[in-house]
Chains A and B, each alone.
Chain A
């Protein structure tokens, strides 16, 4: 029973990170109908840049905003190089391939800068676990859960209460109508990419002290977060959290009870099952395609 509680806690921590990345997918999908296939690499870059800044002697709590700024710039770049040209020629194949290409480039560049080995990111909080019952949670784990919720709430609040946020929501609802109302939708889409990469970079710096950091950490995180985004539905922020928790816990269970080699399998299988049975996701709204 206690080991079960322990697995749930560890799963929830990983799950919240998935939720943040999945949330990033939702942001760009809402405004432009496109996804950044390199979302995992955005997280990886955020974590590695954060590590370099940290090693330069800057306090962890300053590393977070710096990594966020870097993430935003990286997001603008992805939109500018990979997405905008494809949207201009209305090529779905185009943006899928170019965001993948950018992801490969980012990963390769990171490998050449930071090396191929995993690096450790020292934890800013004490390592003394907080125990309750026989289960324990590291303070950093609590920070991850809190931070993840905080950044998602912050983006939601931003969308609801600021004029720029309202432009984002309007564009998400109907890009053409928003354009006719004088909203610069192209800029809003670029902005949503910046926000999306920002949240990913933030998540990267959060998770780095708990796991190891390295150029290769992005790919599987990105894929599994997509599974989360699909499970939760691409239109529901709450769904991302639920999907993240489901997947995170399923993974730690699989790793413990079956074999850690199969740890990545439940997410992928879950992704395939949800897409077969309920493509709009567990909490997403299904839409009828108009002819």
Chain B
């Protein structure tokens, strides 16, 4: 996590406050105001695009809803600015929730199209419902009043700065909370997020609602800033501009949003004046050329890889001298910028700069500062609560899982008692992993029943099953790669955070207490698997074996009563396997029952009390490990007749 120095933010705020005295006239102040207003919207868009990793093409529509809430309240009800702000926030958030409904089942291109359709519908509705919105004529708005005094241009600007600052603080708090972590988790692996007891659907909807809230406030500010709104403003082009701004400035960064917003506000002005555009294009082309040359010289990249951006920016500069007016080609310029940004500046200007600085720094001192917490967190129990309840923990009765005609599980029944370690073995494709996916709710069984602690969990949502006490790891590791190791575990600890939106935004004592306590708990869990020194590294940078251990730590964070391990020893060295066995023993000693899928027979022998053998979706043998291994049917299944 990047922590910007506080004096940087303070300096920026002072600069913003001082702008009315620094800028020569109201026109420039209005531009600055527009930049701040767009930035508020971009914060919201960043929640959806940067944090949850979805594409939204509907934010111009939401922006329009915010603006029109202000407009309609003013002309129909005579209500002013101060009521319009909360109303725009709430009503637009409601629309965001509506937009998120189809998000239940669609991802990627589908979601992009859904948001595009939604945005288009909003624009049509604003245009056609003239009894409410005055249609294409648009709405004129007076400057807001404070008491009996209409705000001057600089006073309204000050209001915008205040709301911008507030939005920045709220956004920072939001993304550095368990909600923010849930958003990022569902971007990196929705399946693992659900299996950590964090409902993907719930947090997707929340992300859209919050995002729309920001868009609504921004739209309302915009309406009063322009003092005139009309339906045509909130079109596809604006949506694309917003997306360009957020990816060009830099995702997951407040500074990036501000930068992106500055670019999209100033660029059209720049294009209006061909002379200044030529100058900018030449400077940009030279900068890209210089930067690329420097990078190639230092061996950071190859000529081939920098060829397209260098040629591309040079071409823009050349073309700018050929044309007399750029205004008509504005959209093409935006299009080319999107292409360049998408492929050559994926982390945006902010991300790119940070990356570059880090690379140069590493060149200078080879020591490197792998900043890690080496806090002593002390010994801690493996689970927070002792396992109690009925002796029989898991009952699987006649479970059938059919994919079309193929029965991956065929009438499987077994029971598992509390505190035991159950091994599932069998040839590849025999149904072991399917069994785990059925147990955790990822697959809904075609027939049969599953009871956990005496309660039916058949057909329940994965996140509900996880919260009831079943945690798992995955055969092909499903970590939240772009998050730190500690944050991965904190997603597992999500269920122990009690604060809601109010607690997060106000940083209430209860929230801080939770956050501190659970960070310590996370460190303890990492210590248990020997990863505490890596707490601040990105999960995807860990070596494979450590990633598997991190998955176990994350699963233990759920305080499970039943832990499902899917081939934990795959790809581990002999030394790692010894550690793994000790860990499984410690987990069992803490009272957590374990289901273990494994191909390493020595691991099964050492760890399991009881073994079930699958073949073609059916149980062909069950019993203590030694007896099962001697079973002729098992030998036949593994080695052939």
Contacts and interface: CB of A to CB of B under 8 A. Distances in A.
B331 interface: yes
A103 to B, nearest CB: 8
B110 A92 contact: no
A91 B335 CA distance: 18
B117 A279 contact: no
A105 B332 contact: yes
Interface in B94-142: 101-102, 104-106, 108-110, 112-114, 116-118, 120-121, 124, 127-128
Given A97-B243, A288-B443, A275 B433 contact: no
Interface stretch (A2-10, A186-194, A219-227): A219-227
B124 A112 contact: no
A104 B331 CA distance: 6
A108 B323 CA distance: 15
Given A102-B339, A276-B105, A108 B110 contact: no
A291 interface: yes
Contacts, number: 117
B442 interface: yes
A272 interface: yes
A268 interface: yes
Contacts of B104: 276
Contacts of B342: 86, 91, 93-94, 97-98, 101
Interface in B168-222: 191
A259 B437 contact: no
A280 B597 CA distance: 33
A154 B117 CA distance: 31
Given A269-B121, A275-B105, A279-B105, A100 B110 contact: no
B331 A107 contact: yes
A85 interface: yes
A226 B236 CA distance: 16
B128 A108 contact: no
Contact of B110 (A85, A102, A265, A279): A279
B271 to A, nearest CB: 12
Contacts of B377: none
Interface string A255-273: 0000101101100110110
Contacts of A102: 335, 339
B419 to A, nearest CB: 28
- Nearest first, the 6 A-B pairs at minimum CB distance are A105-B335, A101-B338, A108-B331, A268-B117, A104-B335, A101-B335
Interface of A: 34-35, 37, 81-82, 85-86, 89, 91-94, 96-98, 100-102, 104-105, 107-109, 111-112, 219-220, 223, 226-227, 230, 259, 261-262, 264-265, 268-269, 271-272, 275-276, 279, 288, 291
14 contacts: A86-B343, A89-B343, A91-B346, A100-B240, A101-B240, A104-B338, A105-B331, A105-B332, A111-B328, A261-B127, A272-B117, A275-B102, A291-B433, A291-B474
